[in-house]
Amino acid sequence: MADVVQYKLERMVNELDDLERRGLFSRREIAEIVKQRRKFEYRLKRPSPLKQDYLAYIDYEKSVDALRVLRKKAVMRELKKKSEDVKGVVKKPKMKHSVSDFSGISRIVEIYRSATNRFKGDIQLWFQYLEFCRQRRNGHMKKNLNVAAARALMQSGLRSCPSSEALWVEYLRMELTYLNKLSARRVALGEDVGTLVPDHHDPEDKQWREENKELFMPIDGETGDYKDLDEQNKELTQKIDFFREQGLNILQTVYKCAVEALPSSFSLRTQFLEILEATNLANSENMQKEILSDMKNEFSKETGFWDWLAKYEAAGRKSTQDVKKEIMPDQLFNAIQVYDEALKIVPSSSMFDLYIKFLRDTIDRNRHTQNSKLSDSSDNYIDPVSHVLMVYEKAQKMGCITEDLGCQHVSFLLELGRLDDARNLAEKLCSGELSEAVRLWFLRLSIEIKRIGTPSKADLSFLALPRPGLAFYKNCIEMELNLASSAGAKTHLVEARKLYEAALSTYDQDASLWQDYHSMESKMGTSETAAAVHWRARKTLKGNTVL
């Protein structure tokens, strides 16, 4: 191990001599650098080096190289001052590149390579490596980190970490970016073949080209032997199609490999769709249909897929959705068709919940836009408010109603100002499949209070129903205590005591109920009433040590 470390240090001699010769580091500083590098090299040669050993070595080398760059700039400034001649004319100083300009970066790359070979499955480490290579793309690194090297590096990462979505997505971006640069290079050379990004030509540029057509004609003025403009455009179109087809082939190949590696990843497919939408590839619509069909086959039993697909349709078949933009009638119609299809395949309360949430979000979104009354002129126009009510009723008919959906339905009717309809629905649900839904009972109580203003004994007689649940009693007590705290009225405290007594008549062996009753009397009653409750609790619970 010592021989290997010594050999590596000896290979650094030319670099260190160059640093001293150029005046960037003193002999004492160089000795310290050698000492630190020896320490790090010994750490890496241990039987089981840690990831932190590699990262610490990399950080140290980065700091040394950053200091070298700063001192080199300072030396250049000094040379610039000294190079002024008598007349004040400045001659630009030159400092040729030497071994020390490249050795530090090469060493960091080598440490990264060793680290990724040992920790092949560490995604974060791979991305740190790639980010460093991206940042150092100029100078010597530019010669080494060409597209072939970048491709090899990404493929190595994918072989080590095939289950990384981020690596697959970034690999596709790299390939398409390179192809787009080739296309852009043709543009720069005057061949104007376009790029893989969507076309957004400047109108002023088009006008300038029309006004200066002669600049693009043959210089000898003889046009008979040259192809006309239409033929030239055909050639350019063929060149554009070549790059677009190549881009599509790349996307298809990477997509196929990525899906084989991650067959159950839904987000991977959505990210590929986003990339497809952002590029101008040949036959992109067919590829889009293929990805969507693949997603439907794999995830048709998942509610999240249907929710995403409906929102995708609502956004005009775009993955990136603007939450502030109004949904047009045709787009809303398509989204509703998706949700209706989903209910046939995944008839569940969670699917209904997503469906209703989308419709209510649509109502809120269109309510705040200027053109919310566009409208009804469309053949596919659907009123989202009436449709929400229809979906709530459909959930009840299909047996997918839950306490949460029932409360939502009642609350939505209240928002529309339909108090009687909300009351009737709450009564129906509380008497039927949601008879044990505490929140719904509490909501029904609040509706009754709103409807009649000041409740009478006859109006509240439903509290005498046989054996209400303990949670129901506690909710009623909480409401009375809140009113007593805010209004300070003793009548609410009296009502709370009545509710406690009614609850204890059925649940007298519940220690927590006695504790709550005693706590209320201690805070809002008197010491006598609190002591009386405590005595009754000890007598009823007997040997219970809780009190």
User: In terms of pLDDT, which residue wins out, 496 or 391?
Assistant: 391
* 255 CB-near residues (< 8 Å, 6+ apart): 172, 272, 291
Q: What percent of the chain has pLDDT over 90?
A: 31
Q: Mean pLDDT, to the nearest integer, of 406-421?
A: 91
Q: Is the pLDDT of residue 36 over 90?
A: yes
Average the pLDDT over 262-287 and give the result. 86
Angstrom distance (rounded) from CA 56 to CA 47: 18
By percentage, how much of the chain surpasses pLDDT 70?
Answer: 77
The secondary structure of the chain in percent helix, strand, coil, rounded to multiples of 5, reads: 70, 0, 30
Phi, psi of 71, deg, nearest 5: -70, -30
CA dist list (Å): 222 to 210, 211, 227, 235, 457: 20, 20, 11, 21, 106
Q: What's the pLDDT at 240? A: 55
Structure-block tokens of residue 502: 């009614």
**Gap between the Cα atoms of 126 and 133, Å rounded:** 11
3-state per-residue secondary structure call for 171-226: HHHHHHHHHHHHHHHHHHCCCCCCCCCCCCCCHHHHHHHHHCHHHHCCCCCCCCCC
The encoded tokens of residue 105 equal 């970066």
> Which has the closest alpha carbon to 180: 426, 15, 172?
172
In three-state secondary structure terms, 242 is helix
Residue 245 or residue 94, greater confidence: 245
Q: How much is the average pLDDT of 1-27?
A: 89
Q: 351 or 179, which is more confident?
A: 351
Confidence of residue 227 (pLDDT cuts 50, 70, 90): very low
Backbone angles phi, psi at 228, to 5 degrees: -75, 175
What is the band of 216 on the pLDDT scale with cuts at 50, 70, 90?
Answer: very low
Helices (H), 453-489: 470-487
- pLDDT band of residue 546 (cuts 50, 70, 90) is low
pLDDT tens readout for residues 433-480: 898 899 999 999 888 877 766 555 655 575 555 667 888 888 888 888
Q: How far is CA 108 from the centre of its chain?
A: 32
- 3-state class (DSSP) for residue 372: coil
Listed range (28-32, 424-428, 467-471) with the worst mean pLDDT: 467-471
CA–CA distance, 37 with 108 (Å, rounded to integer) = 12
pTM higher than 0.85: no
* Among the ranges given (88-97, 221-230, 258-267, 528-537), the one the predictor scored with the smallest mean pLDDT: 221-230
Residue 373 makes CB contacts below 8 A (sequence gap 6+) with none
Is 224 a residue whose pLDDT tops 90? no
Tokens coding 277: 């939408």
pLDDT (tens digit, 9 = 90+) per residue, 288-311? 899 999 999 999 999 999 999 999
Residue 425: predicted pLDDT: 94
State residue 346's pLDDT score.
93
- Is residue 340 pLDDT above 90, yes or no? yes
Question: What's residue 143's pLDDT?
Answer: 46
| Alpha-carbon dihedral sign for residues 117, 119, 122, 127 | negative
Residue type, 525: G
For 518, counting Cβ atoms within 10 Å of its Cβ (0-12 exposed, 13-18 middle, 19+ buried), the class is buried
Q: Which residues contact 413 (CB under 8 A, 6 or more apart)?
A: 389, 419, 421, 422, 425
Task: State pLDDT tens for residues 155-209.
Answer: 888 888 888 888 898 888 888 877 777 766 665 555 545 555 555 445 555 554 4
Which of residues 318 and 412 earns the better pLDDT score?
412
pLDDT of residue 62: 93
What is the rounded average pLDDT of the residues 51-64? 94
CA distances, 58 to each of 41, 51, 113, 119, 121 (Å): 11, 11, 11, 15, 19
Q: How far apart are the C-alpha atoms of 458 and 20, rounded to whole Å?
A: 100
Asked if residues 126 and 161 have their Cβ atoms less than 8 Å apart, the reply is yes
Kindly tell me if the per-residue pLDDT of 275 is higher than 50.
yes
| Chain centroid offset of residue 316 CA | 20
Mean confidence (pLDDT) of the chain: 80
Average pLDDT (517-526) is 88
Name the more confident of 477 and 95: 477
Label residue 272 exposed, middle or buried (CB < 10 Å: 0-12, 13-18, 19+): buried
Is the model's pLDDT at 492 over the cut of 70? yes
Could you read off the pLDDT of 130-170 as tens digits, one per residue? 788 877 764 334 445 467 777 887 888 888 888 888 889 88
Residue 217: pLDDT band (50, 70, 90) is very low
